[in-house]
Amino acid sequence: MNRRDFLRTTAAAGVTIAGGFALAQSAPRPLPLLPLTDLTGGIDTRLPLTLARATHDFGTGAASPTLGINADYLGPLLRIKQGQTLPVDVRNTLDETTTLHWHGLHIPGDVDGGPHQEIAPGATWSPDVPITQRASMNWFHSHMHGATARQTYHGLAGVLLVEDDASLSADLPQTYGVDDFTLVLQDKMFNGAGEMDYFVSGEVFEDGFEGDTMVINGAIAPVAQTVPTGLIRLRLLNACNARFLTLSMATGPVRVIATEGGFLASMVETDSIVMSPGERYEILVDLRTDDTNSLNVGFGDGEGLLGLLGGLFGGGGGDQTLLTLTRGADTGFTGALPDQLANLPPANPADATKTRTFQLNMGGSAQLAALAADWGNICGGGVMAINGMPMKMDRIDEEVRKGETELWRISADDMQHPFHIHGCSFRIISQQGATPPAYAQGWKDMVHVEDGWSEVLLRFDYDAPATAPYMYHCHILEHEDCGMMGQFTVT
């Protein structure tokens, strides 16, 4: 256990061990469904997305102050088809400025919803978002510089599924809420009154905010769902602020069919997958013959209070059940597990005409503590950095030429970080100095970064001018807010 993990474990245990244990023993709750807005049949009006203050009961019985998008916590599940344009009116009824970023979409910088497309209190932002990419699982969340962590944690996030002709005709389950479920996975902290808690400190800035209680679609885990006999499709989003999740099934392998940017070439079976904040994976659960199966999260060494609780009270070597699927009387999608899924072109680093290098810098503990004490002015005092430079709204860090293939090499001077690049999907050539696992060899927009090089091959096909640049950043949201972010143009 290194110094940061030790601090994380001891600090968290002192604050909330009693509450966390009580919650961990609760009976399964029904799986909530994100309300579906299915636009694949056609769009005849602008879609209103209203950001508002609300309260939400995660299952503790208390009304937690939250932020919601057309809901009291989180937003809808938007489903749209390649070739459509999404006309959206994002109305900010909050008393603070925000933005709404389309994470994963290949769209021009001026509709990307990054830190430069601020939506003032009372204002409405009305982009027409062109959907040109292949079937993929994307999401949207606040990207307000200095407030992304707090706003997203409180609920300003939702999921956007892009479908295409191939995905809609694929021999896969796709009946939403029956055999096709979207799961937003988050970790939360609750205070003694059962209200969702959030706070910052120097240590929180160092590690990112990690809660002791897993929440799925706004309900405290474990959750349960009755499903038909057949294959069940789970579309997973790690929307934690900072926590990497190691996911496995109670029985059998994890069957991965898609990454952030689309289908894998073929299904990958693996004992477990590691999902960083910001990552998405689609998996299949085979309930053609099994009566039940569960999605579990495991806690290894140095995973904070969840690890402590998992080791002390959990079964199965520290695993905690997130979702249990149980067969009911109905019969659903009983087709076979898929073989080939998509044509994935080979990712050849020799195709790159330019290489860029990025080093993620943590900053000092004393500086982070001072920043936490002055959180209202976080943007003015960037401590974390990339290549030695904290994020600055008026500085462009890189200039990229549209349509050219590049190799980006990323490393970190301390800790493990999830790195995200706007405006593209990329392929991972190496991750933390090694070949990425087979399940991460498809189209991605997130890569894990530690010491050793993480290399991604990418290309940008849309403009991002200096007035609306793209971002690259750590997706530990507190790191991003503390300055571990940079800006680039594409012209």
Binding site for Cu ion (CB under 5 A): 417, 474, 476, 479
State which residue, 91 or 417, has the beta carbon closest to Cu ion. Answer: 417
Least distance to Cu ion, CB of residue 115, Å: 17
Least distance to Cu ion, CB of residue 374, Å: 20
Least distance to Cu ion, CB of residue 475, Å: 7
Q: Which residue has the tokens 């090089």?
A: 453
Return d(Cα 91, Cα 156) in angstroms, integer: 12
State which residue, 327 or 479, has the beta carbon closest to Cu ion. Answer: 479
State which residue, 158 or 277, has the beta carbon closest to Cu ion. Answer: 277
State which residue, 233 or 479, has the beta carbon closest to Cu ion. Answer: 479
What tokens appear for 306 in the block? 């969840």
- Cis-peptide into 228, omega within 30 deg: no
Least distance to Cu ion, CB of residue 384, Å: 7
Least distance to Cu ion, CB of residue 344, Å: 29
In angstroms, the Cα distances linking 327 to 229, 287, 441 are 6, 7, 32
Return d(Cα 294, Cα 252) in angstroms, integer: 10
Give the Cβ contact number of residue 150 at 10 Å: 23
State which residue, 143 or 417, has the beta carbon closest to Cu ion. Answer: 417
Return d(Cα 208, Cα 479) in angstroms, integer: 7
Least distance to Cu ion, CB of residue 427, Å: 22
State which residue, 79 or 143, has the beta carbon closest to Cu ion. Answer: 143
Least distance to Cu ion, CB of residue 207, Å: 9
State which residue, 101 or 417, has the beta carbon closest to Cu ion. Answer: 417
Least distance to Cu ion, CB of residue 138, Å: 21
State which residue, 268 or 474, has the beta carbon closest to Cu ion. Answer: 474
Least distance to Cu ion, CB of residue 94, Å: 26
State which residue, 287 or 476, has the beta carbon closest to Cu ion. Answer: 476
